[in-house]
Amino acid sequence: MAVSLDTNDQMKVRLDKIPALREAGENPYTDRFERTHTPGEARELADGVENVRCCGRLVSFRSFGKLAFGHIFDMYGKVQFALQKDVLGDRFKTFEKLVDIGDFVGVEGSMISTKTGEKTISVTSWTFLSKSLRALPEKFHGLTDPELRLRRRYLDLISDSDVMTRFKLRTKIIKTVRDFLDGNGFTEVDTPVLTNKASGALARPFTTHNNALDIDVFLRIAPETYLKRCIAGGMDRVYEFARSFRNEGVDASHLPDFTLLEYYASYWNYVDNMNFIERLLKHLISETTGSLELSYQGQKINFAGDWLRITFRDLIFRDCGIDIDTLDTKEALQNAINSNGIVFDTDVNVAKAGRGTLIDFLYKKVSRPALIDPIFVTGHPLDLSPLARSNDENPKVVDRFQLVVNGWEVVNAYSELVDPMDQAGRFAQQAEARAQGDTETMDVDNDFLLCMEYGMPPISGLGLGVDRFIALLTDAPTLRDVVLFPLLRPEKE
């Protein structure tokens, strides 16, 4: 099938410049340029430094007869350059006529400061590097359509310096977490993305087919059971930044594919884990923002001091007067919800929900939205935590905590279940709930049970929604603003 460029008048003008560049002795798509400094580095040089070679995308250009000024840009910043006809001769005119905003160029020269004090490369030679066939967004307004900013993220990065800063900070955040874990005895590992069982969380999976093996497989919803296999194999503490996939709703705080940090530590319980993650996140926030007090979309959030800890039961009882510990069946819980006049959103399928899922619906309705400063929610009902260890004093709840910030669950952690007989019984309960129509239950994973039967040490593990936490730290209104290329419906041809 023949493929043609979708040209417009502006694009045709640029296309016509390609043969003109070749006639002028320029390669319109050069293979390399050896630079000595990035634009950001060049801007810091002292006047008089010679043989400065710098390259980037041309983002501005203005000519004043025999003198011209422009700026080249890359992720590290931009720097001004000056062209003089008396120095460059005919190549001054070649630049004026054949180089467009958006093209990539390399310049060489010495550093000067203009009358306004701007650091500038006084160009003695220049090299054409790559032709841009389409015009960049208008300089002062950039991309204004929110959806187009997501679809054309490469243009968003060029036209809005705050967007570039956000994604550079994302990299720094992940590196800071990685360094902290490495420095505390953790080992980074990789686990499968394609799995035979959709396990590790209560979520609906994506399914696909492996042609070579002729089997249906799932995109992982979490790396949990494989990281625990690593612990069973003798690894002491492990972690993974795992791209994970859940075939569920999309909103400001949920994406179908997202980055999940999970770690597991031998011989810890959930209290050890709670203490550690508070230290890690305070270190992360301080290192990357310089403060423990943030503002997210106008809402002040204070991460300083000891973070509050409250049980799941006490939180729900405080917010709506329902004591979930006294309601052992779904029917009893539903009656209490109805008696209190609590109505769920229309997309919540109460009819197919088990008791655990119904408790989760209630918590998300009456409690979670009001939690702003960081708070640890502990003591979750057993129904909600098929992989967590039962509490020794109250077997109806598990040794689990969630860290909630600004109504978002950013951390989920447990004292992990290592008793294979207990685990088998919980898998059976999950299977029964699935048979009754609850799609957000966990499938039975016999291979994982086999691993457990060989023995596991005491373990505490944690999952942190990386995108959610980055959104909080960068004041991004939605998760799609901190993911470079979020999934969107395809554009019509």
Residues 135-164 have pLDDT tens digits of 988 765 667 888 889 999 999 999 899 999
Q: What is the pTM of this model?
A: 0.87
- Look at residue 122 and give its three-state secondary structure: strand
Residue whose C-alpha is closest to residue 466's, from 275, 340, 284: 284
Domain ranges of the chain: 11-130, 159-307+373-481
Q: Report how far residue 88's alpha carbon sits from residue 121's, in angstroms, rounded to the nearest whole number.
A: 14
- pLDDT of 3 over the 70 cut: no
Does domain 11-130 bear CATH number 3.30.2080.10? no
- pLDDT of 481 over the 50 cut: yes
The two structure tokens encoding residue 46 = 């002292």
pLDDT tens figures, 93-139: 999 999 999 999 999 999 999 999 999 999 999 999 999 999 988 76
Cβ-count burial 30-43 (b if 16+ within 10 Å, e if not): eeebebebbbbebb
Domain at 159-307+373-481, CATH class: alpha beta
Share of the chain above pLDDT 90, in %: 77
The two structure tokens encoding residue 411 = 């951390």
Predicted pLDDT of residue 5: 61
Predicted pLDDT of residue 1: 46
- pLDDT of 463 over the 50 cut: yes
Q: Report how far residue 385's alpha carbon sits from residue 400's, in angstroms, rounded to the nearest whole number.
A: 8
Predicted pLDDT of residue 126: 98
Q: Report how far residue 461's alpha carbon sits from residue 176's, in angstroms, rounded to the nearest whole number.
A: 19
Maximum Cα–Cα distance across the chain: 89
- As a residue count, the chain comes to 493
Predicted pLDDT of residue 413: 93
- pLDDT band, residue 434 (cuts 50/70/90): confident
* Contact assessment for residue 86 and residue 143, using Cβ atoms and an 8 Å cutoff: no
pLDDT tens figures, 170-214: 999 999 999 999 999 999 999 999 999 888 877 889 999 999 999
pLDDT tens figures, 65-77: 999 999 999 999 9
Share of the chain above pLDDT 70, in %: 96
How far from the centroid of its chain's Cα atoms is residue 335's Cα?
Answer: 40
Question: Is residue 18 exposed (0-12), middle (13-18) or buried (19+ Cβ within 10 Å)?
Answer: middle
SS3 content of the chain, % helix, strand, coil (to 5): 35, 25, 40
* Contact assessment for residue 451 and residue 229, using Cβ atoms and an 8 Å cutoff: yes
Q: Looking at residues 283-311, what average pLDDT do you find?
A: 96
Higher pLDDT, 369 or 5: 369
The CA–CA distances, whole Å, from 461 to 88, 242, 464 equal: 64, 14, 10
- Look at residue 49 and give its three-state secondary structure: coil
- pLDDT of 220 over the 60 cut: yes
Q: Which CB contacts under 8 angstroms, 24+ apart, belong to 288-294? A: 288/169, 288/172, 288/173, 288/176, 288/473, 289/473, 294/472, 294/473, 294/475
Q: Report how far residue 127's alpha carbon sits from residue 104's, in angstroms, rounded to the nearest whole number.
A: 9
The CA–CA distances, whole Å, from 194 to 232, 329, 441, 461 equal: 21, 36, 19, 22
- Look at residue 259 and give its three-state secondary structure: strand
Average pLDDT, the chain: 92
Tokens 């951390």 locate to 411
pLDDT tens figures, 355-391: 888 998 999 999 999 999 999 999 998 888 766 788 9
Residue whose C-alpha is closest to residue 62's, from 80, 39, 44: 80
- Look at residue 235 and give its three-state secondary structure: coil
The CA–CA distances, whole Å, from 396 to 67, 272, 349, 383 equal: 79, 21, 24, 8
- pLDDT band, residue 328 (cuts 50/70/90): confident
Residue whose C-alpha is closest to residue 29's, from 91, 105, 101: 105
